[in-house]
Amino acid sequence: MTTTETVSHVSIWDNVSAGNCLWTAALSSSKAVVNGDTLTFTTLGFALTPLAA
């Protein structure tokens, strides 16, 4: 990452490459991050909602 990115969703995968997506979630508010930032969740800041396959 060479510029600021806005994180609005998270996902959990079972492998680094060629894995299966286990779940995705939208954050309750987006967060601007840059290379080297650590994204930390101190409270449940996302909601699990079903997505189409």
Q: What is the pLDDT of residues 7-16, one digit of tens each?
A: 998 888 999 8
Examine residue 13 and state whether it is found in any structural domain, yes or no: yes
Examine residue 36 and state whether it is found in any structural domain, yes or no: no
Give the tens place of pLDDT for each residue, 38-50. 888 776 666 666 6
Is pLDDT larger for residue 23 or for residue 48?
Answer: 23
Examine residue 40 and state whether it is found in any structural domain, yes or no: no
- What is the value of pTM for the model shown? 0.63
End-to-end CA distance of the chain: 28
Q: How many independent structural domains does the chain possess? A: 1
Examine residue 9 and state whether it is found in any structural domain, yes or no: yes
- Which residues have C-beta within 8 Å of that of residue 3, sequence separation ≥ 6? 34
Residue 18: domain span: 1-31
Examine residue 10 and state whether it is found in any structural domain, yes or no: yes
**Whats the size of the chain, residue-wise?**
53
